[in-house]
Amino acid sequence: MNVRDLIPWSRNGGNQLPTAFREGDRDPFLSLHREVNRLFDDMFRGFGAGLPSLGAAPAFRGGWPSVEISDSEKEIRVTAEVPGLEEKDIEVLLDDGVLTLKGEKRSEVEDKDRQFSERFYGRFERRIPLGAEIREDEVDAHFRNGVLTVTLPKTEKAQAQVKRIAIKG
C-alpha cells in the first residue's frame, strides 16, 4: 500500500478516489481503512465550523455555558453566555471557593415531528474554582440579554497576596 493511500482524498480537494477505494474492491482491510478515514474526515471537518460533527451537544465541548473569566487585583469577574434562558432558569452558588452556575433549558414546544435538532436542552452545571478568598457578602450577579455577569470582590488578604514579578531582559 502506498503512503498516499493513507491520506483521505477530501483533504487535497480532489474528487478522485484512491485506487484502494474503488467499488470493485472487496478487501475487508481496505474497507476498514476507508471507514476510519471517513470518521476522521467527518470529525476534523466539524472543527473548522466551530462544532465537532460527532453529534455531541455543546455541553460536551468543554463546558456549557461558555464563560469568560477576568482576574484583577481587586475582583474576579465571571461572564457566562446563556442564550435562550431567563434569570429564573439560572442558579448561582458560591461554596468553599467554587462558583457554581446551574440551571435548566427547556424546549418551548413539544414537536413530535422534529427529525433533527442541534439545540441543547436539559440541565447544566458549571463549577469554577476561584483560587482566591472572596468577600461573600459583596458578590454581585447581573443578568441581561442572555449574559450572566458575576462580580466577586477579593478580600484584603487575597489582594495583599498578589505579587508583581519583574521580567528581566
9, 20, 23, 38, 139 from 30: Cα distances, Å: 14, 6, 11, 12, 60
Q: pLDDT tens per residue, the chain (169 residues)? A: 565 666 655 455 555 555 544 555 567 887 788 888 888 777 766 554 444 434 444 433 456 788 999 988 899 999 999 888 888 889 999 998 899 999 888 777 676 777 676 676 778 888 999 888 899 999 999 999 989 999 999 988 887 877 778 899 7
CA–CA gap between residue 86 and residue 8 (Å, rounded) = 45
Q: What is the pTM of this model?
A: 0.56
Any residues with CB less than 8 A from the CB of 25 and at least 6 apart, and which? 31
DSSP state of 154: B
